[in-house]
Amino acid sequence: MSELIRVPDIGSGEGEIIELFVKVGDRIEADQSLLTLESDKASMEIPAPKAGVIKELKVKLGDRLKEGDELLVLEAEGAAAAAPEAPAAAPAQAAAPAPAAEAAPAPAPAAAPAAASVQDIHVPDIGSSGKAKIIEVLVKVGDTVEADQSLITLESDKASMEIPSPAAGVVEEVLCKLEDEVGTGDLIFKLKVAGAAPAAAPAPAAAAAPAKAEAAPAAAPAAAAPAAAPAPVATAPAAGSNAKVHAGPAVRQLAREFGVELGAVAATGPHGRILKEDVQVYVKAMMQKAKEAPAAAGATGGAGIPPIPAVDFSKFGEVEEVALTRLMQVGAANLHRSWLNVPHVTQFDSADITELEAFRVAQKAVAEKAGVKLTVLPLLLKACAFLLKELPDFNSSLAPSGKAIIRKKYVHIGFAVDTPDGLLVPVIKNVDQKSLLQLAAEAAALAEKARTKKLSADEMQGACFTISSLGHIGGTGFTPIVNAPEVAILGVSKATMQPVWDGKAFQPKLMLPLSLSYDHRVINGAAAARFTKRLGDVLGDIRTMLL
């Protein structure tokens, strides 16, 4: 016997066929999935009401269907059941879609003439033969609800879906709670409906005047409840994770497509639910923010690197927001760009500067007579300039093509200066052509200009190499970031007296820690080791520069 199978109650207006699991000629079992429908509120699989052979398919992928629409013609193996005809017989029903559930409301026709005002709300056909868990209860006793307003959200193995109210009214009694397992036909609410017949009553003439006296025992307490809560709460919840946000499968799928964390989206739907429009507004805002703040991307992420999640630190205690200076912002962007583009490696070594320090102290009077202070920095500048000429790959930059290096015939060296507004790197030009006293005077003048914000653009450009000295503060080593497009930077820490074995005994030596960071695309490890070794030799005996 052939039977026409229709769409059961899907708890919403329409749904689109996104999967079709059967074809003509297939033999199917009862409760086997036929297709998947996706609506604005849920995606769900529609099961076969009985076993049989498919004789005709009346739908295809992409079709939009609603309750009662024709799906297929089935050659049933057993006796025909009345379940498929239920939607046509009672299209307004929200309860009793299953055959077993129709036997319970048998006394309902007698209530129709009396226009009973309390209506039982049952779980409609949820497209599964098993149970589904209640993950949200969206209303409470006393709430006024509209027709098709969501009452609860169910989640099964196959779908999550919202169960709507079949009519407008006031919630009289809530017969379910969070985490309950419910199935098709289960009683979940009692709804006080003004002037409407119960959903199971077949008689259409139930629009008579409401008979409030019939519900008198429960009417008194229920009447006070709407006054206290005349409308459902529609504020967004303070959810902190995707597991707790209120959103249907279609919204969650949209969020996944855009890579959006739903916990970050502001909800505007009823009862704090996130709508598709909310996700779209969030995505537009993020795109606009990215256009307006390209510089900020350097601090928060880029090149496919996930940004650091925003944290509301005020939750943990008192906070203060201090704006970065323009200099700090530019410096941060430059350092971040260099760190992302340059494969950094740092070579650590130390130099014996015992004799160098003795020489510096001995020349103190000569320097004071010339009006300058001779520090270790001019000596480091002179030694590095000597090595940049001896090892020219350290005085180069990688060509934009990445297929060559550009060697520089000049020797300009920058040195880092700590200022209240941030880090500045003034540049001394032609270091190899200047004396120690000239370098001392120029370094002091440029450092003072940096601290008083008087450096010109020309005085901060053209460096081939950079020195960052923290020796006046302390530390035993660090990993400086290459100031691209330079290929190396020398970090200098605090010199300390160390016992050094001379082959016969330990001798006290003033050892200077060196940290050479370099661009591994241009400089290899052996070359870096040779550089620090040679620098140690030169600083150990500056007379070697005269050879």
Taken as a whole, the chain contains a residue count of: 547
Look up the CATH number of domain 99-200+217-228. 2.40.50.100
Q: What is the pLDDT along the chain (547 residues), one digit of tens a residue?
A: 788 999 887 766 788 888 788 999 899 988 888 888 877 666 677 888 888 999 999 999 889 888 889 999 998 865 444 444 434 433 334 344 444 434 444 444 444 444 547 888 988 877 655 788 888 888 999 899 888 788 988 877 656 678 888 888 899 999 999 889 888 888 999 998 876 444 443 333 333 333 333 333 333 333 333 333 333 333 333 334 444 567 777 778 788 888 888 888 988 876 677 888 889 899 988 888 776 655 454 444 555 678 888 899 999 999 999 988 888 888 888 999 999 999 999 999 999 999 999 999 999 999 999 999 999 999 999 999 999 999 999 999 999 999 999 999 999 999 999 998 888 999 999 999 999 999 999 999 999 999 998 988 899 999 999 999 998 899 999 999 999 999 999 999 999 999 999 999 999 999 999 999 999 999 999 999 999 999 999 999 999 898 8
Q: Does 412 participate in catalysis according to the annotation?
A: no
Which residue has tokens 């004789």? 55
Amino acid at 399: A
Kindly report the backbone phi and psi dihedral angles of residue 393, in degrees, each rounded to the nearest multiple of 5, phi listed first.
Answer: -65, -25
Which residue has tokens 């099964």? 156
Look up the CATH number of domain 2-89. 2.40.50.100
Q: Report CA Rg, the chain.
A: 40
Q: List strand residue ranges (DSSP E) for 383-492, in order.
A: 396-398, 405-407, 413-415, 417-419, 422-424, 427-428, 465-469, 488-492
Give me the torsion for CA of 523, 525, 526, 530, rounded to 10°. 80
CA angle, residues 308, 311, 317, in degrees to nearest 5: 145
Structural domain 328-335+342-546, CATH architecture: 2-Layer Sandwich (3.30)
Cα distances (Å, whole numbers) of residue 21 to 71, 496, 506: 13, 77, 84
User: Is 234-292 CATH 4.10.320.10?
Assistant: yes
Q: Domain map of the chain by residue range? A: 2-89, 99-200+217-228, 234-292, 328-335+342-546
Most distant pair of Cα atoms in the chain: their distance: 118
| Same topology between domain 2-89 and domain 99-200+217-228 | yes
Q: What is the number of other CB atoms lying within 10 angstroms of the CB of residue 319?
A: 9
Peptide linkage before 485 cis (omega within 30 of 0): yes
Instruction: Considering the candidates 122, 271, 472, 520, report the single residue annotated as catalytic.
Output: 520
Q: What is the pTM of this model?
A: 0.48
Which residue has tokens 């709508």? 275
CA distance 393 to 388: 8
